[in-house]
Chain A
């Protein structure tokens, strides 16, 4: 595997379910990100991790719970979601958070549908 991978690619879940999204980066990067992409809205940054430590939480509801066990893996645990949470969830990584113009590398996303 190369780059940033995400599983599953598609997920349908009921509002009472618990599920997890997984992201893995094979680039040796130190920073990882979760974004939410909804139709007709700008990309929304949800969480940022640097060297496994969370550095940013953009007022995300507690029904979304991130986990970063190491610099290569990032999870998003989901529980009691709402239909408006249906979106494409994108994971990204970058070399680090020290600035310098490092671009972010994105995974293909997980298309989540909440029924």
Chain B
């Protein structure tokens, strides 16, 4: 079975500062990894996903994530955040042999001007 841990429930940062949202997973088989974003009063939207190949994945809105198999991590980063990045971010894992997605508990990113 797979599981996902988002280590920080809330991350406050200043506008234009860099940010890293941490995600660790556990699985006995190979996995696909996702980051979703949820803006207030909206559903989840895919930011990026890792299926195979290059371990550095670029997504929308300037976000990127790096798959680290040895550390079973898939941390999300952005070099300079904007007020509009205020949202909740969900890391998710899917086994390569099944289609069920397991979501983490989310990290609320708040941007201070």
Residues of A within 8 A of B (CB): 4, 6, 31, 41-43, 45, 48, 56, 90, 92, 94, 96-109, 111
Are B99 and A96 in contact, with the CB atoms below 8 A?
Answer: yes
Q: Does B34 contact A (CB under 8 A)?
A: yes
A-B contact pairs, 22 of them (CB 8 A): A4-B43, A6-B43, A31-B99, A41-B105, A42-B104, A42-B105, A43-B90, A45-B100, A94-B99, A99-B95, A99-B98, A99-B99, A101-B32, A101-B49, A101-B51, A103-B34, A103-B46, A104-B101, A105-B46, A106-B44, A108-B42, A108-B43
Among all A-B residue pairs, the 3 with the closest Cβ atoms: A106-B43, A101-B32, A97-B99
Q: Choose one: A100, A102, A103, A107; the contact of B43 (CB below 8 Å).
A: A107
A101 B103 Cβ-Cβ under 8 A: no
Q: Please give the distance in Å from A25's CB to the nearest CB on chain B.
A: 12
- What residues of A have a CB within 8 angstroms of the CB of B98 in the complex? 99
Of A41, A48, A90, A103, chain B has the most CB atoms within 10 Å of the CB of: A103
- Indicate if B97 sits at the interface (CB-CB under 8 A): yes
Taking the complex as formed, is B96 at the interface, i.e. its CB lies under 8 A from any CB of chain A?
yes
By the criterion CB–CB under 8 Å, are B101 and A109 in contact? Answer: no
A9 → chain B, closest Cβ, in Å?
A: 8
A70 CB to closest chain B CB (Å) equals: 20
Complex: A104 Cα to B32 Cα, angstroms: 13
Q: Is the CB of B32 within 8 A of A109?
A: no
